[in-house]
């Protein structure tokens, strides 16, 4: 009888017979080490809908065990979740590394080297989980992580300095109202007017779009004496911007606008000698030099 039959383990997965293995203990050890709990620090955990079930049977000698095929079926069922660590600057991922130690080393070195520049910059570590192996392959060594983070920190510092230089009492003048040639600056004394210039003039072709310099609310849209067609936008903390001599007004009073939104078109209405935008910044009704914040 033993010559005609042999002992094998019949394997079923999700109630379906998938084959036979000779040694259950060795096969389970293989699955555990290679698929279920691999020794890989990048892997957080592995999900498998159901692990194989085994039953010791007396099988015909003609039946051949198929461990490799069963192994492949289990491997195909496995869903691997990977863990990596992101060095984040202002909550935006800068670079990925493999371990928490590498992430903390990167962060600590950046903080040490750029301590004086990090007052308004948050730099920390985020634990990231993903099933996408391509993302895991983006991880880098510490030296490269530090180099990447340094570049991005300096870019953030530069951007913050730019914003600070273009901000008046919390109002960030993000967009130039129009691109063109400055033909008259704030404080200029010229023969075409009987007073010191209280804004700046930027010459541009007729019909060129004029955009809001900062976020705010349109509080005037119409004709106003020497300004011709005028848009006034009221911002926060008593700050207003004026856009004069427009050929067309594109927004009405009450309109909420963002920096960069089109509000009017360049023209030469009112007291004007050619197509241009007359632009003013006012604080509590007093004109101040726009070039402190724009067109530097």
Q: Can you tell me the distance from the alpha carbon of 29 to that of 12, in angstroms, rounded to the nearest whole number?
A: 17
List, for residues 98-141, the tens digit of each pLDDT value. Answer: 999 999 999 999 988 888 777 778 899 999 999 998 888 889 99
**Do 161 and 189 belong to one domain?**
no
Q: What is the pLDDT of residues 37-89, one digit of tens each?
A: 998 888 999 999 999 999 999 999 889 999 999 999 999 999 999 999 999 99
Tell me, yes or no, whether 114 and 69 share the same domain: no
Alpha-carbon separation of residue 92 from 61, 76, 133, 144, 155 (angstroms)? 62, 34, 21, 18, 13
Mean local confidence (pLDDT), 167-173 = 96
60 plus 161 within the same structural domain: no
Specify the pLDDT at position 198. 85
How far apart, in whole angstroms, are the C-alpha atoms of residue 238 and residue 292?
Answer: 17
Residues 125, 126, 130, 135, Cα dihedral to 10° = -40
296 vs 28, more confident: 28
Domain count, the chain: 3
Mean of the per-residue pLDDT values of the chain: 92
11-50 confidence digits (pLDDT tens): 999 999 999 999 999 999 999 999 999 988 889 999 999 9
Per-residue confidence at 280, pLDDT binned at 50, 70, 90? very high
**CA Rg value for the chain:** 35
**Quick check: 263 and 233 in contact, CB under 8 A?**
yes
Q: Alpha helices of 60-214 — where are they, by DSSP H?
A: 67-77, 100-113, 133-136, 142-165
Statement to judge: residues 92 and 73 lie in one domain = no
Domain boundary among 77, 112, 134: 77
Q: What is the pTM of this model?
A: 0.66
- Quick check: 296 pLDDT over 90? no
- Give the end of a domain, one of 77, 93, 117: 77
Domain match, 179 and 266 both: yes
Q: Residue 252 maps to which CATH number? A: 2.70.70.10
**What residue numbers bound the domain in which 196 lies?**
171-292
The arithmetic mean of pLDDT across residues 211-221, rounded, is 98
Rounded Cα distance, 287 and 172, in Å: 17
Residues 100 and 197 reside in one and the same domain: no
Choose among 236, 228, 225, 239: nearest CA to 278: 228
pLDDT at 192: 57
| Cβ neighbours of residue 18 closer than 8 Å, sequence gap 6 or more | 11, 12, 52, 69, 70, 73
Please classify residue 116 by burial: count the beta carbons closer than 10 Å to its beta carbon, then call 0-12 exposed, 13-18 middle and 19+ buried: exposed
209 and 195 within one domain: yes
Boundary-marking domain end, from 165, 185, 210: 165
Q: What is the dihedral of CA 120, 125, 126, 130, to 10 degrees?
A: 130
């Amino acid at each position: 009888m033993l010559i005609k039959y042999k002992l094998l383990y019949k394997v079923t997965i999700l109630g379906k017979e998938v084959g036979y293995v000779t040694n259950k203990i060795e096969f389970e050890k293989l699955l555990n080490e290679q698929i279920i709990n691999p020794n890989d620090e990048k892997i957080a955990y592995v999900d498998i809908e159901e692990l194989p079930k085994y039953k010791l049977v007396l099988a015909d000698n003609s039946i051949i065990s198929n461990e490799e095929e069963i192994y492949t079926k289990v491997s195909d069922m496995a869903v691997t979740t990977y863990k990596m660590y992101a060095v984040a600057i202002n909550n935006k991922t800068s670079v990925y590394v493999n371990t928490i130690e590498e992430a903390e080393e990167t962060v600590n070195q950046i903080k040490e080297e750029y301590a004086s520049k990090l007052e308004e910059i948050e730099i920390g570590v985020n634990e990231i989980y993903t099933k996408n192996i391509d993302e895991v392959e983006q991880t880098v060594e510490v030296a490269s992580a530090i180099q990447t983070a340094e570049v991005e920190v300096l870019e953030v510092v530069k951007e913050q300095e730019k914003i600070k230089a273009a901000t008046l009492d919390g109002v960030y003048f993000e967009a130039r109202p129009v691109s063109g040639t400055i033909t008259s600056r704030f404080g200029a004394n010229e023969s075409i007017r009987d007073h010191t210039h209280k804004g700046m003039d930027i010459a541009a072709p007729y019909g060129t779009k004029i955009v809001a310099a900062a976020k705010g609310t349109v509080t005037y849209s119409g004709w106003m004496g020497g300004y011709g067609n005028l848009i006034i936008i009221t911002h926060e903390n008593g700050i207003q911007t004026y856009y004069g001599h427009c050929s067309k007004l594109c927004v009405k009073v009450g309109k909420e606008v963002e920096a960069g939104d089109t509000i009017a078109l360049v023209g030469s209405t009112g007291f004007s000698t050619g197509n241009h935008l007359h632009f003013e910044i006012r604080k509590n009704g007093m004109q101040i030099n726009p070039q402190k914040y724009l067109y530097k």
